[in-house]
């Protein structure tokens, strides 16, 4: 990586730096007046300029509130002194541009509002003008040259510092936006996902079903809903405790997901009850999918911390009919599921009006 990181970032190579200087009316000829500014104005009175600068800042609450956040004002004064002594020195160099770009970054990071930064620059310029010695003031041509150069060089410094100031603020905003987007995605995931089983939540499953019904009615494609309930789940909780019961629900959900197709949706409807939404699926295929689910769950016991738990399920299937709503199709699948339970459990029953 180049030592001139910010120059590289802003494309301030030698031609670009020259173009910036030209826009501000700065040329190699100004190096002589820059030496006069440093040698005859700033260097002899730099301590006084910096002292008056901070004295001025502390008069205003907007500045003093920032300075009193725990910053070492003595260290800030030293940094300001170094800055003043380098003002305008070798101003066409990459080193000069890089240092001024860093100044804006530092001010952005301490939270200094841009208007305060610009006001402070104006104050610093005025204090420097007041420090011009009488021998220069008495030479109108030299004095005019020096004043002109001072305004042009501080304009250069401000333009560079403001670039990185804005860059830092934009980066901070982008970071905040990215964080908010991640938080929004996490929130959506939490809303859409059942926290225990990691299948679709109740509300998400109903949302998917609502969209599936609209699509099926528009395209005349078949749609089936399967309501699933674990048999004697209360007995599992009562015998083994709710922690084991939760582990069983997680395992059952995983087995169900492994048995259905990639485009099917499984949702936890409530407690030990699940809903499977089977889009573009005729009744016969829906029954096959439900049978795979039943066998995958019931064919082998679930092992939880050394405890072997056998689980079976009962399911009811309903196919979408004209005029169906979410409530009516789930209601018919639910009736079929309870029929499966009442007829012996561990089986699939198809809603009589769907067959």
The catalytic residue positions are 272
What is the per-residue DSSP string for 31-77? HHHHHHIIIIIIHHHHHHHHHHHHHHHTTSHHHHHHHTTT--HHHHH
Neighbours of 33 (CB within 10 A): 19
How far from 75 is each of 72, 81, 85, 114, 296, CA to CA, in Å?
A: 5, 10, 16, 22, 71
Residues in the chain: 355
Q: What is the CA radius of gyration of the chain?
A: 38
% helix / strand / coil in the chain, to the nearest 5?
65, 10, 25
Distance between CA atoms of residues 4 and 73, nearest Å: 28
Distance between CA atoms of residues 212 and 29, nearest Å: 76
Report whether 133 contacts 41 (CB < 8 A): yes
Report whether 82 contacts 42 (CB < 8 A): no
């Amino acid at each position: 990586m180049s030592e001139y990181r910010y120059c590289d970032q802003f494309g301030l190579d030698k031609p670009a730096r020259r173009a910036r200087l030209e826009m501000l009316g700065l040329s190699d000829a100004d190096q002589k007046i820059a030496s006069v500014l440093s040698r005859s104005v700033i260097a002899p009175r730099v301590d006084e300029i910096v002292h008056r600068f901070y004295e001025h800042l502390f008069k205003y609450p907007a500045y003093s509130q920032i300075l009193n956040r725990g910053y070492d004002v003595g260290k800030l004064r030293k940094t300001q002194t170094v800055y003043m002594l380098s003002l305008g020195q070798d101003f066409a160099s990459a080193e000069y541009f890089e240092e001024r770009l860093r100044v804006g970054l530092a001010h952005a990071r301490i939270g200094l509002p841009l208007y305060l930064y610009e006001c402070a620059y104006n104050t610093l310029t005025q204090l420097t003008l007041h420090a011009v010695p009488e021998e220069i003031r008495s030479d109108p041509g030299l004095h005019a040259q020096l004043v002109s150069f001072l305004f042009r060089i501080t304009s250069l410094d401000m333009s560079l510092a403001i670039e990185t100031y804005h860059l830092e603020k934009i980066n901070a905003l982008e970071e905040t936006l990215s964080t908010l987007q991640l938080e929004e995605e996490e929130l959506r995931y939490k809303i859409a996902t059942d926290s225990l089983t990691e299948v679709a939540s109740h509300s998400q499953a109903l949302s998917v079903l609502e969209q599936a019904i609209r699509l099926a009615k528009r395209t005349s494609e078949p749609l089936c809903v399967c309501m699933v309930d674990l048999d004697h789940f209360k007995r599992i909780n009562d015998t083994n405790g709710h922690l084991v019961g939760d582990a069983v629900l997680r395992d059952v959900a995983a087995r169900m997901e492994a048995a259905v197709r990639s485009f099917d949706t499984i949702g936890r409807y409530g407690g030990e009850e699940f809903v499977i939404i089977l889009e573009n699926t005729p009744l016969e295929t829906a029954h096959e999918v439900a049978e795979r689910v039943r066998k995958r769950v019931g064919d082998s016991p679930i092992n939880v911390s050394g405890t072997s738990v056998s689980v079976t399920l009962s399911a009811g299937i309903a196919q979408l009919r004209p005029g169906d709503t979410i409530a009516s199709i789930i209601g018919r699948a639910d009736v079929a599921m309870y029929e499966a339970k009442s007829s012996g459990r561990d089986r699939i029953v198809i809603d009589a009006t769907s067959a």
